[in-house]
Structures are given as C-alpha cells and as structure tokens.
Structure 1
C-alpha cells in the first residue's frame, strides 16, 4: 500500500509491484485517488480506494489555509487506515507491505494488525527510517518528538520484517531502535518507468545542470544557487533548471529572487508530470543533488537511468550510488565552492560526463534492476511469513 497516489514513493511502489507480479505473484496496490501511473503488468492491480491526496496538492497555499487543511487531512489519513484494515480483513492477503511511517497512528495500527488472528505477514519499507519533518524556522530535518519516535519503534517491532534502501539507513534505524530484529537492505531500483527509448548521451547536450524533485531546504537549493553564481561567472552559457513542487515551508519567493539575480536559471516550481520528466533529464548534462541530509535518492536513480552523472554530497546513502570519479562527483555538504568546481568539471568536460553517465546507467541496469529488487523482496516476504507462523498467538504464552 502507498497512501500517496503520485510522486517518488508511488512510482517506487508501482515498479516494485510490477516486478513482483512478473515473478508470478498476484499484487494489489492500495492508494489514493487518480493515481498517476497505470499498471503495465496483468498481475498488478492498482486500487485507488484510499481517501488520501496527491502530495503536491496545495503546496503554494497561504499558511492559514495549510493549517486548516491539516485538520481535514488528519481525518482523511485515519479513514485511509480504516479502509486498509477493512480491505485486509476482506481479502486476507498473505503479505501486507507498507511504505514507512509518518504519524503516530502508523505504529499503533501496525501493532493492532500484528495481534489479529490469522493475520498476514507484515513488512515495512522504510524509505526514511527516522521521523522526518523539516522545520523551516530552525533548519532541523529530523523531528525530535518522543511520541513519534515511540510510534516508529512500535511499528518496526510489530512487523515481521523491515526493509531499507541503504546501509546508512540501516545503521540509523538500528542505532535508534536496537531491539528491531529483521532489517534488510535492498537497492532502490531503477526508474525505467520514465524511459521512452534509449536516452541520448550526456555529451550531446548543452551545459545544463538539473535539480529535480520536491523543493525543500534540506536539499540545498540555496547552496546550489550560490554555486551556480560561480559557475555562471566562468561559464556564461551554463544554465540551471530547478524543477519540482515546493514544499509548504519552502521560501519560494526568496529562491526565485536569487535565481533571477544570478541569471540563466529556469525556475519551474510545480509538480512535474510523468510525461515531462524524460525531456528534463535528456536535456541535462549533469544532475545536482547538493543535499544536507539524505537516505536513498530516487533522483540519483533517475540520473543513472538516463545516463547522467550526479554531483552530490557525502551524506546518507548517496556515496553508495554516486561513486566518486566513476558515476559522478561527491563534495562535502554545505561547501558551495566545492560544488561549483565539481559542476564546472563536468560542464567543461562533456566526454567525462558521458563516461560517468554511461557507467551509472550500466550499474543501474545490473545492480538495481527491478527484477533484482523483487527477488530480494520476495526473500524478505518468505522470511516474514516464516516469522509470522512461528510467533505466539496474541494472548498465549510462548512455548
């Protein structure tokens, strides 16, 4: 199940569901209204039965309107969990797989499901293992909330298996909740759902830098603009494309003003429909990921899928997929000077951009194909079923 009917988490869920279906499983993906992708596999049914919303809806609304909307969405969120419970009781699947957690209700529902007689095996894919809620006022990324940490821990302990998308994510989860037993690392998976043919090489482009994805402060857009000012001073023909939906706490006007002052910046604040994504990546020579904090990154996988090198920071799980000097370049987080030099290096040497981009695409095809991911997830599901079957029934003393 995936509450969001669009965006990176939904796209991940669809591609994984298709790959599991291709292995002979019957898969149902529960999600919200008007999902942005159809199923390409007869074994995957996408069911828009949850009363949720698209993550980019209302991102540019006035703060007072956003506060009022939170009350309505809280009710919708809890109603969505009730819909999940009803569906599970009615259809009795072998495995139910969730997409991490965001709110205190999540852990409570998982704990409830774990106590049901005849329950399915429960698996969580923790895209962001720690409570994540960026605070614009303080710049903090992780939400220091005792109730939320307790809820996450309850949820992780209640399921039969937890999956994360990188070794650093696994280390973070185990450090916060050392009593969580089953934690498995799998690769993110490629972004082949966006391909419309073989992408052109990186050296066939103009000197274009692409930032793609939700515009949030922790992703270092301000740092990228500072670096791009240096790039423009030395390469007046360089362009920067900023494309993605702003989060509710993004200083959109401040970023836009800075971009206009620097020049050469194509500022596209808004959700990018699936059909427009390929053009953005094929027109770029290099993708920028100047994050201050990260787990795994679907944007880096997009870059690899389209044969584009990534200039990123040494944070989270990024160094595992951005191999310095091989599939991209890594710089220290917060260092605008180093970021500018790395971008210039690949803009000035298109043949190197091509080499690194092709290496990244090759690694994505061989090590992060959805067939590979689905095989690993299938193994997790089998272990989760065995763990469920060996667990004592609620109310009984273990043997």
Structure 2
C-alpha cells in the first residue's frame, strides 16, 4: 500500500513524534510505500508553552519525511491533501483538538473518497476546553475509520462518530536503547523515586508529593520534565509539606541521553495519574529494569503486574499511594520487585498494530 502519515516528526520532540516515526519505519518494514507529512510550524506558542523542537534526533529519523505544513498557511493544508489523493491510505495522527482545523483542510484537499484513518492518541484531552468535543466530533465524522489505544477511548470515539472504531494496544516507540547506566542499576537500593515527563494536573504530582510526606521519611524524589503551568505551585506545595530536602526538581525537556542516568538513580518510577489513556513510561522503566508504582487508570494495570514487577494503587488517593510507598520499601521488596521486571517483546504488538491500521474494514466506506 501507498501510505501517508500526517503528524509530528523530528525536529519535533516527545512521544507523538517518536510514535509517528516508529510507525513509519514499521509500515515500511512491512513492505508499504510510506511518507510522513510533517510540520515546519505546528502550533502557535500560546497553545504549547513548552519546548517544541530539539536540535538532535532521538532515534532514527524516517527518510521519507516532508516538512511542508504550517499552522499559519491554510492554503498549504489543502495542497497537502490534494497531493495525497493518490495514496491508498492517509493516517492523521491526532494528539490534540487544536490540530483539527488543519486536518479538515487536508481532508478538503483529499476529497471524499480517499481513505483516511484518524489515529487518536487521545480522543479528547485530559483537561478539556469547551471547543474540544465539537472539533473532534467534526473530524471523526469526516474520516473513514478511527484507531484508538484502549476500550475506554473507543467508547469516547463511538460517542462522537458512527465511523468504524478499532482498538490496538500502543506498542513501544522508545528513542534509542538503554545505555550503560541500565546495567549498573541492578546494584543496591537508592531510596529514591522518579516522576518523569511533562508535569500537568492530570498526572497527579501533587498527590505523589502528599503521599511522599506521609510515607517513608528517608525516601527522596526526582521530578524530571517540563512544567506545563510553571513551577510556582509545585514549589509552594513542597515547602508546605516540608519536603525541600527530599525533592529534586529538574524542570525542562529531558534529552534522551539523560534518561539512562535518571532511571539508574531510581528504585521505582511513580505514575500517580488521575486519568490516563496510553503511556510509554511503563515500557521505558521496564527497559531499564525499574519497577513501576502506578494508579489504576488507563492501561497501567495491564502493563504493571501488581506485586510482581510493581504496585497498583487507587487514583487521586493520597492514603492509597502512601501505603503503596510503604509496601514498596518493606525490607527486601525493592529488590524482589526489580527482579520481576522483564522488558516486553514489542514485535508482536507492532505487528498487530500495523494490521489493525491497514485492515480494509478499519477504513470503512466513503465519508459523508
């Protein structure tokens, strides 16, 4: 098949760009003719306040990547769609409703019969705006099929469109392989936990900080990632809880080269999310031999084997998370749980993912 993926790719950073690139590599390896239509300017800065691009690629860029899309040039959206009419399938990587206007422009250029699948990382944002539902409803009613990463997301999508909705577990799209620090990780207990990734309210860092104050009093925490709304509220909470000596803040985007050291210094990765869809962070921790303490949201309970390679607790519940921290640091438990960690074999997951995306009935009929 001749397939086009429309989505972020290097020099854009983060999970969306990694996924787009890895998907293109996997589709090409399966024998498809693949191009990526990416962006030279994806969002205005007020819609994405963090760092948008990086100077060095993380992982192998896909050679068939074009950067012709610009949020300031709607005429270019239509031209891109027009140029993709000869493709057997166009995949729109949907990370946020703010992409919808540009995707509608591409769809206008594609015409009604060119097969299009919306690959939704999130059908709706965790923190919603009034315009999110009408924008996503309009997009999902215009495509021929929808691919999501969980049954909960499928239900959301089916509430917005009558088009076919398929579910496929999101496989790993990790930038690069674990470095030498991963091997050194096997020795000793650090009495340190890790919170990793963009800090947003739905990810529950405030719950973790309160649980840390109630849990073992000699355990430290590293928080590494971009703070979506600034540091002030987090710094204030740390001071109120008396955790200044136990919490290290490392604000800003974490380059791939720095990731091994963060995991080497941690006994466990903590994912205290209030809500979730799919996350790469469990897979990443397991690649570095690190157990995970996560809440029972999204797909975490399917990725973390409670009591075997990590612990599961209730979302938004300080007492439940504090109890999990106590349980984790019981004598011998960090070592036992770490011994149970096994990196996943993502080859079969990717094979199933590619099959779900390219199956004829995933693309439905002509959009109306």
Runs of 4+ in 1 over 6 A off after TM superposition: none
2:237 match: 258
**Offset at residue 151 of structure 1 (A):** 2.3
2:128 match: 142
1:83 match: 76
Partners of 1:244 and 1:272 within 8 A in 2:
yes
**Offset at residue 193 of structure 1 (A):** 2.6
More strand by share: 2
Seen in structure 2, the aligned counterparts of structure 1 residues 386 and 116 have a Cα distance that, compared at 3 Å, is closer
**Offset at residue 232 of structure 1 (A):** 4.5
Gaps of 5+ in 1: 52-76, 134-140, 395-399
1:378 and 1:255 map into 2 onto residues whose CA distance is 43
Which region of structure 1 is more displaced relative to structure 2, 1-10 or 212-221?
Answer: 1-10
Matched, 1:124 2:144: no
2:103 and 2:27 map into 1 onto residues whose CA distance is 26
Matched, 1:373 2:350: yes
TM-score (normalised: structure 2): 0.81
Seen in structure 2, the aligned counterparts of structure 1 residues 232 and 186 have a Cα distance that, compared at 3 Å, is same
Equivalent in 97, 101, 117 of residue 102 of structure 1:
97
2:59 and 2:80 map into 1 onto residues whose CA distance is 20
1:339 match: 321
Equivalent in 227, 233, 241 of residue 246 of structure 1:
227
2:83 and 2:176 map into 1 onto residues whose CA distance is 34
Seen in structure 2, the aligned counterparts of structure 1 residues 386 and 190 have a Cα distance that, compared at 3 Å, is closer
Partners of 2:178 and 2:288 within 8 A in 1:
no
Partners of 1:202 and 1:285 within 8 A in 2:
no
2:34 and 2:328 map into 1 onto residues whose CA distance is 42
**Offset at residue 304 of structure 1 (A):** 2.7
Equivalent in 265, 268, 273 of residue 283 of structure 1:
265
2:107 and 2:144 map into 1 onto residues whose CA distance is 11
Equivalent in 204, 217, 225 of residue 220 of structure 1:
204
1:239 and 1:191 map into 2 onto residues whose CA distance is 29
Seen in structure 2, the aligned counterparts of structure 1 residues 300 and 40 have a Cα distance that, compared at 3 Å, is same
2:29 and 2:303 map into 1 onto residues whose CA distance is 26
Gaps of 5+ in 2: 1-5, 41-52
1:40 and 1:286 map into 2 onto residues whose CA distance is 28
2:339 and 2:77 map into 1 onto residues whose CA distance is 46
Matched, 1:47 2:66: yes
**Offset at residue 98 of structure 1 (A):** 1.3
**Offset at residue 385 of structure 1 (A):** 8.3
Seen in structure 2, the aligned counterparts of structure 1 residues 196 and 287 have a Cα distance that, compared at 3 Å, is closer
**Offset at residue 90 of structure 1 (A):** 2.9
**Offset at residue 27 of structure 1 (A):** 2.2
Paired positions, count: 338
Partners of 2:295 and 2:312 within 8 A in 1:
yes
Mapping for residues 100-249 of structure 1, pairs under 5 Å: 100=94, 101-103=96-98, 105=101, 108-109=104-105, 112-113=108-109, 115-116=111-112, 119=114, 121-130=115-124, 132=125, 141-143=127-129, 145=130, 147-174=131-158, 176-177=159-160, 179-197=161-179, 199-200=182-183, 204-233=188-217, 236=218, 238-247=219-228, 249=229
SS of 2:166's equivalent in the other structure is strand
1:160 and 1:216 map into 2 onto residues whose CA distance is 32
TM-score (normalised: structure 1): 0.75
**Offset at residue 82 of structure 1 (A):** 4.3
More helix by share: 1
**Offset at residue 86 of structure 1 (A):** 2.2
Seen in structure 2, the aligned counterparts of structure 1 residues 334 and 192 have a Cα distance that, compared at 3 Å, is closer
1:30 and 1:39 map into 2 onto residues whose CA distance is 18
Partners of 1:110 and 1:155 within 8 A in 2:
no
Partners of 1:168 and 1:317 within 8 A in 2:
no
Seen in structure 2, the aligned counterparts of structure 1 residues 208 and 39 have a Cα distance that, compared at 3 Å, is closer
**Offset at residue 216 of structure 1 (A):** 0.7
2:72 and 2:362 map into 1 onto residues whose CA distance is 27
2:75 and 2:196 map into 1 onto residues whose CA distance is 34
1:228 and 1:271 map into 2 onto residues whose CA distance is 24
